[in-house]
């Protein structure tokens, strides 16, 4: 794939989009390619904002015990799920979510599904005061990126999963099973994995493709129309790779050099600002000409906005994982576990993948997708080749001191 952009001139991608088959965050492995699980194993872990934790302090061995509430699942047939925007299958008219409807029909459990997860730190800021104060968050399950899961485990804010309620967990791809931030997957199970990338709107760029981070941060024609993610690991990871660094082993000096490149772009007026998952509206409208983005978002938006393009930079791109967790004091823990179990059925996950366009952690999903649409195997966003995966990198684990120092420096840049 090299530096090729995924744009409207790509006939395979265009055909898939016209079928309404691609949407938010995934990239399933093609029959001729390397499996996602094998690649993640080689990296040591996965991560959207892809850090496997905070060094030794990020592992489950250092975790406090999360508080549990009386489980009302048997008498209250509901489950409250918070998730990122556009991260699940949607009906043709956009009014329903078919897989959720099917879950309710199968189990009798109503899902209160809320797309209120815009950014890991932003969401954490909302729920931490409640968790810290020993109060129910009003949520039974949510989806956090791996490095945030490490923090939640360490602080005792998420509960151990009862695998007796999740028999389909046996379908978890082998290489996702023993990640550093949650050895043995006691507290979390992956929802999706995917790539950090560049998204752009050709109407706003004058028809120009945006193919490198340097172009994004310095091209005068984009001045004032560029956004970067508030998610430090994706933005900083892409910039460090552009500077020739391996983000699995970068130094403090490497981090500072990348920060300086972004600061220069900010000082020059190149940047419109920093966003969470809410960049999508501006990109679709053309208010944002180009941005650091997540692959499935752009693919989803292309369904209605064919002028959008997506580039996985030749210098490299981030690889991350988002994960189900059940918070402390959740009132419907068993119902949440039944929900997770449902999505670990390969046929159900295949239905989701046809929309979200990210890497599924469930073994058998590829075969289930191929059984319904073999043509999707030619789409690099859904079935990345070995060459594509070889250029993806995982942001290395941070020590507690590094996490504090780097996050403070990045926050000062994004908020000043």
Confidence (pLDDT) at 42: 37
Question: What whole-number distance in Å separates Cα of residue 339 and Cα of residue 189?
Answer: 12
User: Pick from 15, 36, 12, 9: which is nearest to 321 by CA?
Assistant: 36
Chain centroid to Cα 402, Å, comes to 22
CATH code reported for the domain at 49-193+323-354: 3.40.190.10
The 8-class DSSP code of residue 161 comes to P
Per-residue model confidence (pLDDT) at position 380: 64
* pLDDT computed for residue 296 by the predictor: 80
Supply the pLDDT for residue 202.
98
Environment class of residue 71 by beta-carbon count within 10 Å: exposed (0-12), middle (13-18) or buried (19+)? middle
pLDDT at 382: 66
Q: Which two tokens stand for residue 39?
A: 């690649």
Per-residue model confidence as pLDDT tens for the chain (416 residues)? 333 333 433 333 333 322 222 222 222 222 223 334 444 443 333 333 433 333 333 444 457 899 999 999 999 999 999 999 989 999 989 899 999 999 999 999 999 999 999 999 999 999 999 999 999 999 999 999 999 999 999 999 999 999 999 999 999 988 788 888 999 999 999 999 889 999 999 999 999 999 999 999 999 999 999 999 999 999 999 999 999 999 999 999 999 999 999 999 999 999 999 999 999 999 999 999 999 999 888 877 887 899 999 999 999 999 899 999 999 999 999 999 999 999 999 999 999 988 888 888 999 988 888 888 776 655 666 666 778 888 999 999 899 899 999 999 999 999 97
What's the sign of the alpha-carbon dihedral 323, 357, 28, 47? negative
């Amino acid at each position: 794939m090299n530096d090729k952009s995924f744009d409207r001139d790509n006939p395979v991608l265009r055909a898939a989009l016209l079928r309404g088959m691609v949407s938010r965050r995934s990239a399933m492995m093609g029959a001729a390619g390397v499996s996602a699980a094998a690649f993640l194993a080689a990296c040591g872990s996965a991560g959207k904002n892809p850090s496997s934790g905070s060094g030794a302090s990020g592992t489950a061995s250092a975790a406090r015990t999360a508080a549990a509430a009386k489980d009302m699942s048997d008498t209250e047939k509901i489950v409250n799920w918070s998730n990122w925007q556009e991260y699940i299958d949607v009906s043709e008219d956009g009014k329903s979510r078919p897989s959720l409807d099917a879950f309710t029909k199968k189990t009798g459990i109503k899902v209160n599904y809320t797309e209120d997860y815009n950014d890991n730190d932003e969401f954490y800021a909302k729920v931490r005061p409640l968790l810290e104060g020993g109060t129910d968050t009003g949520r039974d399950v949510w989806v956090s990126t791996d490095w945030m899961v490490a923090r939640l485990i360490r602080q005792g804010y998420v509960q151990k999963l009862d695998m007796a309620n999740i028999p389909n967990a046996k379908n978890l791809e082998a290489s996702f099973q023993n990640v550093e931030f949650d050895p043995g997957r006691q507290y979390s199970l992956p929802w999706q994995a995917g790539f950090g990338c560049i998204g752009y709107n050709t109407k706003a760029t004058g028809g120009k493709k945006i193919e490198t981070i340097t172009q994004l941060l310095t091209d005068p024609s984009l001045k004032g129309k560029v956004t970067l993610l508030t998610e430090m690991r994706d933005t900083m990871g892409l910039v460090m790779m552009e500077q020739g660094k391996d983000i699995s082993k970068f130094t403090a000096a490497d981090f500072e050099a990348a920060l300086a490149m972004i600061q220069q772009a900010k000082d020059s007026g190149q940047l419109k600002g920093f966003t969470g998952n809410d960049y999508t509206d501006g990109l679709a409208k053309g208010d944002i000409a180009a941005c650091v983005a997540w692959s499935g978002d752009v693919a989803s938006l292309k369904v209605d906005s064919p002028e959008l393009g997506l580039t996985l930079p030749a210098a490299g791109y981030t690889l991350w994982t988002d994960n189900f967790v059940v918070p402390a004091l959740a009132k419907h823990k068993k119902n949440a576990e039944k929900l997770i179990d449902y999505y670990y059925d390969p046929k159900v996950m295949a239905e989701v993948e046809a929309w979200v366009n990210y890497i599924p952690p469930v073994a058998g999903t590829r075969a289930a997708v191929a059984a319904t649409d073999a043509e999707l195997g030619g789409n690099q966003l859904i079935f990345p080749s070995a060459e594509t995966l070889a250029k993806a990198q995982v942001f290395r684990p941070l020590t507690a001191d590094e996490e504090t120092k780097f996050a403070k420096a990045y926050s000062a840049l994004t908020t000043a």
